[in-house]
Amino acid sequence: MKLKDVSKIAMHEVIDVQKGEEVLIITNPGEVLEISLSLFSAAKEFHAKPTIIIQEPKTSLEFAERSVIEAIKSEPDIVISITEKKLGKDAFGLNIGYVGRDNQKYTHIFEKLLWGDRRIRSFWSPGIIVDMYLRAVPIDYERLRYEARVLAEILDKGKEVHVATEKGTDLWINIKGRKAFKDDGDFRKPGKGGNLPAGEVFISPAVGKSEGVIVFDGTLGLGEKAYFLRIL
């Protein structure tokens, strides 16, 4: 499939863009810009009003450009982040903070509008490349959402997760009373957002109640240092 065809699937199946809606696409130079331009064209096919803003790639420790923060503050209907690394931090949010309509404090205007106010909807794709986008975005989203819902219900009712491997990992994780979350590509209503490509059900363990053995042998990159770890 061509990039534009895949982006039309994302605009329709994932974000459900409507005629006249404002769509803000935040991106960087390079390969991610190619994807962003295809999303721009796809949004126009649905008679929406897309805008692209380009900044240099940002790490998780760097601040977004002021113009990016101000563009998000304009409260477009949809905010899409297609970036080489991260969107970038919000200086005002970190120093002072925003209070959402839910009375919770947020350190980024994006999070305040998405989760605190439920005014926008979104998806984000840090580290995306064209090949990944073409292979992983055009999927059966109805099936994905059904399977994610089933898995979430199993985890919600569960008490423990047991992870065991031939290499020696034997871990019991207590999940009693914890709630599962779905990243199922259903970001069609205000207040909804997640990764694209989508397809994840996750749950956090009860604090201090897991036990067992984890065997590591692999790689994990942390900044300038590389640690060799892999769960086996």
CATH code, domain carrying 7: 3.40.50
Strand partners for 58: 86
Mark whether 127 and 182 lie in a shared domain: no
Q: What is the pLDDT of residues 64-122, one digit of tens each?
A: 999 999 999 999 999 999 999 999 999 999 999 999 999 999 999 999 999 999 999 99
What's the pLDDT score for residue 223?
58
* Cα 36 to Cα 51: distance, rounded to the nearest angstrom: 10
Mark whether 124 and 160 lie in a shared domain: no
Mark whether 194 and 213 lie in a shared domain: yes
pTM: 0.86
Classify residue 83 as exposed, middle or buried by CB count within 10 Å of its CB (0-12, 13-18, 19+). buried
Strand partners for 124: 81, 195
Task: Kindly state the DSSP code that residue 185 receives in the 8-state scheme.
Answer: S
The set of residues, in sequence order, having a beta carbon less than 8 Å from that of 32 and lying 6+ positions away, is: 82, 83, 84, 125, 128
In a domain, 43, yes or no: yes
What's the pLDDT score for residue 224?
53
Mark whether 145 and 167 lie in a shared domain: yes
Mark whether 119 and 145 lie in a shared domain: no
Mark whether 117 and 147 lie in a shared domain: no
* Cα 121 to Cα 166: distance, rounded to the nearest angstrom: 43
CA distances from 154 to 149, 179, 186 (A): 9, 10, 20
Are the beta carbons of 97 and 111 closer than 8 angstroms?
no
User: Which domain-ending residue is among 136, 155, 178?
Assistant: 136
What's the pLDDT score for residue 216?
80
Q: Does residue 197 have a cis peptide bond before it, meaning omega lies within 30 degrees of 0?
A: yes
Nearest alpha carbon to residue 80 among 122, 109, 126, 49? 122
What's the pLDDT score for residue 230?
52
What's the pLDDT score for residue 215?
87
What's the pLDDT score for residue 21?
98
* Cα 212 to Cα 172: distance, rounded to the nearest angstrom: 6
Q: Degrees (nearest 5) of the Cα angle 190, 193, 198?
A: 140
Structural domain total, the chain: 2
What is the domain range of residue 71?
3-136
User: Which domain-ending residue is among 100, 120, 136?
Assistant: 136
Segments in the chain below pLDDT 70: 219-232
Are the beta carbons of 224 and 214 closer than 8 angstroms?
no
